[in-house]
Chains A and B, each alone.
Chain A
Amino acid sequence: MNIENTQSQMRKGVLEYCILSIIRRNEAYPGDIIDEMKGAGLQMLEGTLYPLLNRLKNGGFLSYRWVESTSGPPRKYFRLTEKGERFYVLLQATWNELVSGVETLTAGK
């Protein structure tokens, strides 16, 4: 049990929720997502983003289309499917529960 491990465990849980919320706002390609995450101060490795997106896509939560890019190979732009939308709503509810619960707990001290 060490601090890094716990931290990464905590981050892990919300990663999908964050990514889905970014994609939900706008169609996004992995580069955007990484930038937004970084902008929000959430560090994540791109290498972990791709398998995650792939899994969400395979699960039917995301769909994508190819968009030609001027600065390199064509990009995959992801968007939420209906299933993804429902999934997101559920995650959101859970997240809100968590936040309020954790806040109540920690504020009580």
Chain B
Amino acid sequence: MKFILHVTDMKKVININFQGQVIAIEEDAYEVLKLYIDSLKVYFSREEDGDEIVNDIECRIAELFGNRLKHGIPCITVEDVESIIASIGRPRDFDADYEEVSRETSRDQGEGRSTRGESREGTKGEEPRKLYRNSSDKIIGGVCSGLAHFLKVDPVWIRLLFVILFGVFFWVYLVLWIVLKEMPLGSNVTKRFYRNPNDRVLGGVCGGLAAYFKIDSWIPRVLFLLPLILNVMGMFSIFPLNRFFDHVGFNLNINSGILLLYIVLWIIIPEAKTVKQKLEMMGEEEYIQSIRDRVSDNVSGCKSRTEGDASTGLTSDGTSDYTSGPASSHTFAHTPAPAPARSGCLNALILSAKIVLFMFVGLFALVLFSLFAGFLFTGARWMPLKSLFLDPGYESHLLIISFCLLILVPLIAMVTWLIRRVMKAKSRPVIGVVAAVLWMGGLVSVGLLTSRVAHKFSVEYSSEEKAQIAPVSVDKMYVEMLPYGDDYAELMARDLFGCNIGTFRFFDEFDDRTILPYYTANEDSLLFANINLQVRHSYDSLFHVRTIATVRGRTQRSAKTDALQFNYPITQNDSVLFLPEFFSVPVEQGFRNQSITVEIAVPAGKTIEVSDALDEYKSENSPGVPRKRMRR
């Protein structure tokens, strides 16, 4: 809004543009009008379309102004404004005349209009003085503000204390933050530190200081700048006192200290946004009382009011010199005060903190995602092997369920969350809870599955079988490997795991021997390469060969049955002993950590030569020392 200033003989008259009308109005009258409209805005902010109502009233006021000006008066005076206000009514008159019963009854019950002023102290006393975190006036967690409310002091002092004694109070703050309940608390001090948005150079800190201490704003400014100025003087050595200042130590430390102090104040002091806050900033007791009445019932919507400030064309920098209007002793009922806004400086800090946080979150999500993708991939790779561990039916279903719950649920939840986040949909905690519960279910089912699978390995059983060896004519025995004749890889891919060329390729790439203890399988049997070859001294003059089949199972009986099904035919051709490349078990057995130990006893004076092909089968045990096996 633009206004032109005429200075007439007696009073300042300004021209304002009010609802499209150019109105000549005395400055005092303007202030009264502005306050009145502010109070209306607060009052109607709880009404649906409150702005529209205020706008209608403004139109009406503009019309009444127009009527008056038409009658030939030079400008609108305080009296004019007062009479118009009287005909339209003040918020407190509305309440007496018309009110929405539902919203008001609680406030009015047992408390007549006339007794309101006195009852204020009463309500304050009744209010239980408990320590809360203040949700309506907070910088971080509302702890300081809550403390201040409890102690009935300006939150700024508590905050300052916490900042200065950061090291000590950090933990106190944290503990209080966790322990205390949050509660919107009204302000219970009449004078507060605010940053003054109407008198500011940088953050309004000095302006606020000046308003608080009722001094001119240049005084704190100079105080803040003095060290800097002196330092600059010292730097250029024009000042004879230069040495003195050097001695005292007006150096950059002081400057940065001052700067830090300023920034700290900037952060911890809220900006005075509403009229009420501006007045609290000035701290004129009397004044506040009258204004509280005007700005009464400021339950909510103070924001809309301050925003609306610009649109009415009633912006001005002056609440400071408003002095007219009957200052009644009415005070407003104890309702939560508008939350003082955080400072821009803090917002910037918070923003950067958020950016860092989101970067971390993003990184974390990425890691999580790739982890899941990895699981998915290896899962798919290992999927064909499941029949080795799991019985068809119940266990297979359990596996699929666990897989879905453990991997797909978080993925879907994450995608949903991202989409909702991008769409800016309202957060639905239900989704997260459901996802978490499902995921827990996945964990349970995996646990179940693991225990079932582990159970299959609970008993180990070994069965020993002596191979019949014909006496060897020479002094040396040769041990050779008998390669498996069939094209087992192809068989495996086609027959055990279904006609899936892809699976076949997978396993082709695999180095089965190193990764899997079993080698391959054909249609009705599994082939294992888990063979140990042990050589020891014979107790007599003959070669002895025995095979020990070891298998794990759910019970000893099942393990024994399995062990007896091992097929490992050792053949002999005079001095050459052929060990098959694999031993085979029926495919129904699945993987039960089957192994075969071939023990060759070499009589004294005779030697044995093991083919290089069998190198991998050779036991680490030194030849000649029989390995003791657990027998059950």
**CB within 8 Å of B: which residues of A?**
2, 4-5, 8, 11-12, 15, 30-31, 44-48, 50-55, 58, 69, 71-76
Q: Mark B91-135, 1 if CB is under 8 A from A, else 0.
A: 101101110000000000000100000000000000000000000
Of B60, B66, B91, which one neighbours A46 at CB under 8 angstroms? B60
CA distance A48 to B89 in the complex (A): 8
Chain A proximity of B200: nearest CB distance (Å): 34
**Contacts known (A50-B56, A54-B52, A54-B53); A71 close to B97, Cβ less than 8 A:** no
For B40, B44, B66, B97, the residue with the greatest tally of chain A CB atoms inside 10 Å of its CB is B97
**Contacts known (A4-B96, A50-B53, A54-B52); A73 close to B87, Cβ less than 8 A:** no
Would you call A54 and B47 a contact (CB within 8 A)? yes
Would you call A2 and B112 a contact (CB within 8 A)? yes
A58 surroundings in chain B (CB, below 8 A): 48-49
**CB within 8 Å of A: which residues of B?**
19-21, 40, 44, 47-49, 52-53, 56-57, 59-60, 62-67, 70, 87-91, 93-94, 96-98, 112
Would you call A51 and B112 a contact (CB within 8 A)? no
Would you call A72 and B90 a contact (CB within 8 A)? no
Would you call B47 and A45 a contact (CB within 8 A)? no
CA distance A53 to B49 in the complex (A): 11
B66 surroundings in chain A (CB, below 8 A): 71-72
Chain A proximity of B102: nearest CB distance (Å): 13
Of A31, A45, A53, A73, which one neighbours B97 at CB under 8 angstroms? A45
**Contacts known (A8-B97, A47-B94, A51-B53); A31 close to B87, Cβ less than 8 A:** no
For A52, A53, A54, the residue with the greatest tally of chain B CB atoms inside 10 Å of its CB is A54
Would you call A52 and B88 a contact (CB within 8 A)? no
B47 surroundings in chain A (CB, below 8 A): 51, 54-55
**Contacts known (A12-B98, A54-B56, A76-B56); A47 close to B70, Cβ less than 8 A:** no
Of A47, A51, A69, which one neighbours B90 at CB under 8 angstroms? A47
**Contacts known (A52-B98, A54-B49); A75 close to B93, Cβ less than 8 A:** no
A71 surroundings in chain B (CB, below 8 A): 63, 66-67, 70
Would you call B98 and A48 a contact (CB within 8 A)? yes
CA distance A15 to B49 in the complex (A): 21
Would you call B87 and A45 a contact (CB within 8 A)? yes
A11 surroundings in chain B (CB, below 8 A): 97
CA distance A52 to B547 in the complex (A): 101
CA distance A5 to B56 in the complex (A): 28
Of B19, B21, B60, B94, which one neighbours A30 at CB under 8 angstroms? B60
Would you call B89 and A47 a contact (CB within 8 A)? yes
Chain B proximity of A53: nearest CB distance (Å): 8
A48 surroundings in chain B (CB, below 8 A): 89, 94, 97-98
Residue of B nearest to A58 (CB): B48
What are 29 sample pairs from A and B whose C-beta atoms fall under 8 A apart?
A12-B97, A12-B98, A44-B97, A44-B98, A45-B87, A45-B89, A45-B93, A45-B97, A46-B88, A46-B89, A47-B40, A47-B57, A47-B91, A50-B56, A51-B94, A53-B56, A54-B47, A54-B52, A54-B56, A55-B48, A58-B48, A58-B49, A71-B67, A72-B59, A72-B63, A72-B64, A72-B65, A73-B20, A74-B59
B21 surroundings in chain A (CB, below 8 A): 72-73
For B40, B87, B98, the residue with the greatest tally of chain A CB atoms inside 10 Å of its CB is B98
A52 surroundings in chain B (CB, below 8 A): 98
B52 surroundings in chain A (CB, below 8 A): 54
B90 surroundings in chain A (CB, below 8 A): 47
Residue of A nearest to B86 (CB): A45
B44 surroundings in chain A (CB, below 8 A): 51
CA distance A58 to B50 in the complex (A): 12
B56 surroundings in chain A (CB, below 8 A): 30, 50, 53-54, 76
Would you call B112 and A73 a contact (CB within 8 A)? no
CA distance A51 to B47 in the complex (A): 8
CA distance A13 to B362 in the complex (A): 60
Chain A proximity of B358: nearest CB distance (Å): 41
Would you call B57 and A50 a contact (CB within 8 A)? yes
Of B70, B87, B96, which one neighbours A8 at CB under 8 angstroms? B96
CA distance A52 to B100 in the complex (A): 10
B70 surroundings in chain A (CB, below 8 A): 71
Would you call A45 and B62 a contact (CB within 8 A)? no
Chain B proximity of A65: nearest CB distance (Å): 14
CA distance A12 to B96 in the complex (A): 10
A2 surroundings in chain B (CB, below 8 A): 112
B62 surroundings in chain A (CB, below 8 A): 72-73
A30 surroundings in chain B (CB, below 8 A): 56, 60
CA distance A87 to B56 in the complex (A): 24
CA distance A8 to B112 in the complex (A): 14
A72 surroundings in chain B (CB, below 8 A): 19, 21, 59, 62-67
Would you call A47 and B88 a contact (CB within 8 A)? yes
CA distance A19 to B66 in the complex (A): 25
Chain A proximity of B163: nearest CB distance (Å): 45
For A11, A12, A51, the residue with the greatest tally of chain B CB atoms inside 10 Å of its CB is A51
CA distance A45 to B87 in the complex (A): 6
**Contacts known (A8-B96, A48-B97); A75 close to B59, Cβ less than 8 A:** yes
CA distance A72 to B59 in the complex (A): 8
**Contacts known (A48-B89, A54-B47, A58-B49); A73 close to B98, Cβ less than 8 A:** no
A-B contact sample (13 more), CB < 8 A, given A8-B96, A31-B63, A47-B88? A2-B112, A5-B96, A11-B97, A12-B97, A47-B91, A50-B56, A51-B47, A52-B98, A53-B56, A55-B47, A55-B48, A71-B63, A72-B59
For B57, B63, B66, B90, the residue with the greatest tally of chain A CB atoms inside 10 Å of its CB is B63
Residue of A nearest to B43 (CB): A47
Of B19, B48, B93, which one neighbours A47 at CB under 8 angstroms? B93
Chain A proximity of B301: nearest CB distance (Å): 14
Chain A proximity of B546: nearest CB distance (Å): 97
Residue of A nearest to B63 (CB): A72
Would you call A45 and B59 a contact (CB within 8 A)? no
Chain A proximity of B409: nearest CB distance (Å): 45
For B44, B57, B59, the residue with the greatest tally of chain A CB atoms inside 10 Å of its CB is B59
